[in-house]
Chain A
Amino acid sequence: MEFVVNKREFVKALSRVQSVADKRSPMPILTNVLIRAEASGAVHFAATDLLLAVTGTMRADVKKAGSVALPARHIFDTVKALPEGEVTLTVEKNFQARIKGARRRFDLAGAPGEDFPSLPEVGNVPMMSLPAEDIAELIALTSFSMSTDDTRPHLAAALFETHRAMLRMVTTDGHRLSKAERSVSGVQTGSKLLIPAKAIHELRRLVDEARSEKREDGSPAMISLGAASSQGPVFFQRDGMTMSSKLVDAAFPSYEQVIPTSTDRSVRVSRQALLEALRAVSLVSADRTFGVKLSITPGRMVITSENPEIGAGMDEIDATLTGPDVVIGFNSKYVIDVLSSLSCDEVVLDLSGELDPGVVRPEGRTDYIGVIMPMRI
Chain B
Amino acid sequence: MPPVAVIALLAADVANQIAAGEVVERPASVVKELVENALDAGAETVTVSIDGGGLARLAVTDDGAGMGPDDLAMAVVRHATSKIRSADDLIGVATYGFRGEALPSIGSVSRLRMVSRARGALEGAECLVEGGAPAVVKAAGCAVGTTVSVEDLFFNTPARRKFMRTPPTEGAACVETVVRMALSRPDVRFVIRRDGKVVREFLRHPDVAARVREVWPDETLADLRGARGAVRVTALLGAPERARTGASHLALYVNGRHVKDKVLMRAVAQAYGSTLDAGRYPVGAVFVQVPPEEVDVNVHPQKSEVRFQSQGQIFEAVMTVIRDSAANAPWTRAVTRPDAFWSERLPQGPALEARGAASTTADAERDASPGAAEPRPSPAPMVPLPERADPGALGVGRALTAFVTELPETEAPQDPWGRLKQAPYPPMPYAEVSPPRGGASRSSEPVRDEGPHAEAAPRGDSGLSASSTFSGLHYVGQVRKMYLVCEGEGGVVILDQHAAAERVTFERLRKSFAARSVAMQPLLVPERVELGADEVALLEEHSAALLRIGVELSTLGPTTVAVRAVPALLTRADPRRLVRDLVAELSRQGYDFSRAVDLVLATMACHGSLRGGEAVADDEARALLRALDTVDFAGHCPHGRPVVFSLRWGELERKVGR
Q: Which residues of B contact A258 (CB under 8 A)?
A: 524-525
Q: Is the CB of B524 within 8 A of A174?
A: yes
Q: Which residues of B contact A355 (CB under 8 A)?
A: 522
Judge if B549 is at the interface, Cβ distance under 8 Å.
no
A324 to chain B, nearest CB (A): 21
A25 contacts which of B340, B517, B527 (Cβ < 8 Å)?
A: B340
Judge if A107 is at the interface, Cβ distance under 8 Å.
no
Q: How far is it, in angstroms, between the C-alpha of A291 and the C-alpha of B627 when the chains are bound?
A: 17
Judge if B447 is at the interface, Cβ distance under 8 Å.
no
B523 contacts which of A22, A151, A174 (Cβ < 8 Å)?
A: A174
Q: Is the CB of A373 within 8 A of B511?
A: no
Give the interface SS of chain A, mostly helix, strand, loop or mixed. Answer: loop
A97 to chain B, nearest CB (A): 26
On whether A375 and B335 interact (CB within 8 A), knowing A174-B523, A174-B524, A174-B525, the answer reads: no
Q: Is the CB of A172 within 8 A of B340?
A: no
Q: Is the CB of B524 within 8 A of A371?
A: yes
On whether A177 and B524 interact (CB within 8 A), knowing A287-B623, A287-B627, A308-B436, the answer reads: yes
B191-207 interface code vs A (CB 8 A; 1 in, 0 out): 00000000000000000
Q: Which residues of B contact A148 (CB under 8 A)?
A: 572, 614
Q: Is the CB of A196 within 8 A of B335?
A: yes
For B508, the closest partner residue in chain A by CB is A288
B622-636 interface code vs A (CB 8 A; 1 in, 0 out): 010011001000000
Judge if B85 is at the interface, Cβ distance under 8 Å.
no
From residue 343 to 377 of chain A, which have CB atoms closer than 8 A to chain B?
A: 355, 357, 371-377
Q: How far is it, in angstroms, between the C-alpha of A289 and the C-alpha of B523 when the chains are bound?
A: 15
Judge if A299 is at the interface, Cβ distance under 8 Å.
no
B474 to chain A, nearest CB (A): 20
B335 contacts which of A153, A287, A289 (Cβ < 8 Å)?
A: A153
B572 contacts which of A49, A149, A291, A376 (Cβ < 8 Å)?
A: A149
From residue 514 to 568 of chain B, which have CB atoms closer than 8 A to chain A?
A: 515, 517, 519-525, 527, 565, 568
A368 to chain B, nearest CB (A): 17
Q: How far is it, in angstroms, between the C-alpha of A172 and the C-alpha of B508 when the chains are bound?
A: 27
Q: Is the CB of A175 within 8 A of B337?
A: no
Judge if B574 is at the interface, Cβ distance under 8 Å.
yes
A24 contacts which of B340, B511, B565 (Cβ < 8 Å)?
A: B340
On whether A376 and B574 interact (CB within 8 A), knowing A174-B527, A175-B523, A308-B511, the answer reads: no
Q: How far is it, in angstroms, between the C-alpha of A276 and the C-alpha of B437 when the chains are bound?
A: 31
Q: How far is it, in angstroms, between the C-alpha of A289 and the C-alpha of B566 when the chains are bound?
A: 12
For A49, the closest partner residue in chain B by CB is B338
Q: Which residues of B contact A291 (CB under 8 A)?
A: 519, 568
On whether A249 and B511 interact (CB within 8 A), knowing A26-B339, A289-B519, A377-B519, the answer reads: no
Q: Which residues of B contact A85 (CB under 8 A)?
A: none
B236 to chain A, nearest CB (A): 19
Judge if B575 is at the interface, Cβ distance under 8 Å.
yes
Q: Is the CB of B525 within 8 A of A172?
A: yes
B311-341 interface code vs A (CB 8 A; 1 in, 0 out): 0000000000000000000000011011111
On whether A175 and B571 interact (CB within 8 A), knowing A253-B525, A309-B436, A373-B523, the answer reads: yes
Give the interface SS of chain B, mostly helix, strand, loop or mixed. Answer: mixed
Judge if A176 is at the interface, Cβ distance under 8 Å.
yes
Q: Is the CB of A151 within 8 A of B522?
A: no
Q: How far is it, in angstroms, between the C-alpha of A355 and the C-alpha of B524 when the chains are bound?
A: 10
From residue 142 to 160 of chain A, which have CB atoms closer than 8 A to chain B?
A: 148-153
B434-445 interface code vs A (CB 8 A; 1 in, 0 out): 001100000000
On whether A151 and B525 interact (CB within 8 A), knowing A288-B569, A289-B519, the answer reads: no
Judge if A271 is at the interface, Cβ distance under 8 Å.
no
B604 to chain A, nearest CB (A): 14
Q: Is the CB of A22 within 8 A of B521?
A: no
B41 to chain A, nearest CB (A): 44
From residue 591 to 635 of chain B, which have CB atoms closer than 8 A to chain A?
A: 614, 623, 626-627, 630
From residue 248 to 294 of chain B, which have CB atoms closer than 8 A to chain A?
A: none
Q: Is the CB of A26 within 8 A of B523?
A: no
Q: Is the CB of A151 within 8 A of B519?
A: no
Judge if A55 is at the interface, Cβ distance under 8 Å.
no
Q: Is the CB of B574 within 8 A of A151?
A: yes
For B565, the closest partner residue in chain A by CB is A376
Q: Is the CB of A246 within 8 A of B335?
A: yes
Judge if B241 is at the interface, Cβ distance under 8 Å.
yes
A249 contacts which of B335, B515, B525, B575 (Cβ < 8 Å)?
A: B335
Q: Is the CB of A331 within 8 A of B525?
A: no
Q: Is the CB of B338 within 8 A of A376?
A: no
Q: How far is it, in angstroms, between the C-alpha of A355 and the C-alpha of B552 when the chains are bound?
A: 13
Q: Is the CB of B519 within 8 A of A376?
A: yes
Judge if B213 is at the interface, Cβ distance under 8 Å.
no
Q: Is the CB of A248 within 8 A of B338?
A: no
Q: Which residues of A contact B341 (CB under 8 A)?
A: 150
B58 to chain A, nearest CB (A): 39
Judge if A273 is at the interface, Cβ distance under 8 Å.
no
Judge if B119 is at the interface, Cβ distance under 8 Å.
no
Q: Which residues of B contact A81 (CB under 8 A)?
A: none
Q: Which residues of A contact B340 (CB under 8 A)?
A: 24-26
Q: How far is it, in angstroms, between the C-alpha of A258 and the C-alpha of B341 when the chains are bound?
A: 33
Judge if A51 is at the interface, Cβ distance under 8 Å.
yes
Q: Which residues of A contact B436 (CB under 8 A)?
A: 308-309
Q: Which residues of A contact B83 (CB under 8 A)?
A: none
Q: How far is it, in angstroms, between the C-alpha of A49 and the C-alpha of B577 when the chains are bound?
A: 27
Q: Is the CB of A151 within 8 A of B339?
A: no
Q: Is the CB of A150 within 8 A of B337?
A: yes
Q: Which residues of B contact A289 (CB under 8 A)?
A: 519, 521, 568-569, 571
A139 to chain B, nearest CB (A): 20
B524 contacts which of A150, A248, A309, A357 (Cβ < 8 Å)?
A: A357
Q: Is the CB of B338 within 8 A of A22?
A: yes
For A257, the closest partner residue in chain B by CB is B525
Q: Which residues of A contact B339 (CB under 8 A)?
A: 26
For B573, the closest partner residue in chain A by CB is A149
Q: How far is it, in angstroms, between the C-alpha of A253 and the C-alpha of B526 when the chains are bound?
A: 10
Q: How far is it, in angstroms, between the C-alpha of A357 and the C-alpha of B521 when the chains are bound?
A: 11
| Most interface-central of B524, B623, B627 (chain A CB within 10 A) | B524
Q: Is the CB of B524 within 8 A of A375?
A: no
Q: How far is it, in angstroms, between the C-alpha of A376 and the C-alpha of B521 when the chains are bound?
A: 6
A171-200 interface code vs B (CB 8 A; 1 in, 0 out): 010111100000000000000000010000
Q: Is the CB of B241 within 8 A of A151?
A: yes
For A253, the closest partner residue in chain B by CB is B525
A234 to chain B, nearest CB (A): 13
Q: Which residues of B contact A177 (CB under 8 A)?
A: 524-525
A166 to chain B, nearest CB (A): 23
Q: Is the CB of B338 within 8 A of A26?
A: yes
Q: How far is it, in angstroms, between the C-alpha of A309 and the C-alpha of B569 when the chains are bound?
A: 15
Q: How far is it, in angstroms, between the C-alpha of A150 and the C-alpha of B520 when the chains are bound?
A: 23
Q: Which residues of A contact B521 (CB under 8 A)?
A: 175, 289, 331, 373, 375-376
Q: Which residues of B contact A174 (CB under 8 A)?
A: 523-525, 527, 575
Q: Is the CB of B338 within 8 A of A375?
A: no
On whether A152 and B519 interact (CB within 8 A), knowing A174-B524, A176-B524, the answer reads: no
Q: How far is it, in angstroms, between the C-alpha of A331 and the C-alpha of B340 when the chains are bound?
A: 34
Q: How far is it, in angstroms, between the C-alpha of A264 and the C-alpha of B608 when the chains are bound?
A: 33
Q: Is the CB of A309 within 8 A of B630?
A: yes
For B521, the closest partner residue in chain A by CB is A375
Q: Which residues of B contact A249 (CB under 8 A)?
A: 334-335
Q: Is the CB of A375 within 8 A of B568?
A: yes
B17-34 interface code vs A (CB 8 A; 1 in, 0 out): 000000000000000000
Q: Which 4 A-B pairs have the closest CB atoms?
A: A289-B568, A376-B520, A373-B524, A253-B525
16 pairs from A and B in contact (CB 8 Å cutoff): A27-B338, A150-B337, A152-B576, A172-B524, A175-B521, A175-B571, A177-B525, A196-B335, A249-B334, A287-B627, A289-B519, A309-B436, A331-B521, A357-B524, A376-B519, A376-B521
Q: A26-B338, A174-B575, A287-B623 are in contact. List 12 more A-B contacts (CB 8 A).
A: A22-B338, A149-B572, A149-B574, A152-B574, A176-B524, A177-B525, A249-B335, A287-B627, A372-B524, A374-B522, A375-B520, A376-B519
B residues at A contact (CB < 8 Å): 241, 334-335, 337-341, 436-437, 508, 511, 515, 517, 519-525, 527, 565, 568-569, 571-572, 574-577, 614, 623, 626-627, 630
